[in-house]
Homo-oligomer: A and B are copies of this chain.
Amino acid sequence: MNHPVIVLVEPQLAENIGMVARAMANFGLSELRLVAPRNGWPKKGAHSAASGATHILDGAKLYDTVRDAIADLHYVFATTARERGQMKRVFGPEPAMAEARRRIGEGQGVGILFGRERTGLENDEVSLADAIVTFPVDPRFSSLNLAQAVLLMAYEWQRHATGGTLPFGGREALPASRETLISFFDYIEGELDAVSHFPEDKRPVMVRNMRDIFHRLALTEQDVRTLRGAIRALAEGRRLRNR
């Protein structure tokens, strides 16, 4: 096991289980365990809600009790939206998955328990866990559904496991060389001089202000070509009209 196991306790709705699988697959989790799903398993509708994450549903393991489902694990988190009066560490999703990462790195099996849609985990089930995870929700509206809770944990797992690597990055281009940029300044200032844009006494200040604008843009070589082309088009267009 090189990532946390997701354990759903008596999940009821097929769509929720499918959305859980979808959430897991997006963030690199694959091991799903179901404890006594209400009205049996498999459930009609779970696969369509999984939106392609069918390998997770097909590989889901069934258990009769939480105790059985976590027997081979070394550290278990229980997710809960409310205080349980149990003397356990309480984690947010991010430090919880940092802890999971550390333990999995040492070879421990780590699981996360999620309770029933309506009533969550029972206190006796929470008491089988090492620590509690809860979410930094707005206290005025705290109503995460099952798949949303799994999504947030899976997301935080992926951030810790991969450092939050994004599927693509920004296009990095070098800034234009200072030679290109200064030549661009000369060009635009020359064209503006040609149409007497600058009042003579204010020219130095206006030129500096305009250069500041272009400096702030952090222009690339391509950017300079793009802008130079647009300015040339304006200047040439004017010359053509003025003929």
Is the CB of A139 closer than 8 A to any CB of chain B?
Answer: yes
Contact with B along A133-164 (1 / 0, CB 8 A): 01111110111110010011001001100101
**Contact call A139/B167, Cβ cutoff below 8 A:** yes
Closest beta carbon of chain B to A118's beta carbon, Å: 12
Closest beta carbon of chain B to A88's beta carbon, Å: 7
Is the CB of A69 closer than 8 A to any CB of chain B?
Answer: no
**Contact call B94/A164, Cβ cutoff below 8 A:** yes
Closest beta carbon of chain B to A111's beta carbon, Å: 20
Chain B residue, CB-CB nearest to A29: B138
Is the CB of A52 closer than 8 A to any CB of chain B?
Answer: yes
Is the CB of A202 closer than 8 A to any CB of chain B?
Answer: no
Closest beta carbon of chain B to A91's beta carbon, Å: 8
**Contact call A94/B159, Cβ cutoff below 8 A:** yes
Binds B, one of A5-13, A18-26, A40-48: A18-26
Binds B, one of A79-87, A183-191, A193-201: A79-87
Closest beta carbon of chain B to A221's beta carbon, Å: 12
Chain B contacts of A167 at CB under 8 A? 81-82, 134-137, 139, 142
Closest beta carbon of chain B to A36's beta carbon, Å: 25
Chain B residue, CB-CB nearest to A95: B164
Chain B residue, CB-CB nearest to A85: B171
Give the interface centre of A86, A94, A166 by most chain B CB atoms within 10 Å: A166
Chain B contacts of A28 at CB under 8 A? 138
**Contact call B136/A166, Cβ cutoff below 8 A:** yes
**Contact call A25/B164, Cβ cutoff below 8 A:** no
A190 to B142, alpha carbons, bound, how many Å?
Answer: 51
Kindly list the 9 A-B residue pairs having the minimum CB-CB distance in the complex, ordered from nearest. A25-B141, A90-B170, A28-B138, A83-B168, A136-B164, A26-B137, A92-B164, A89-B170, A134-B166
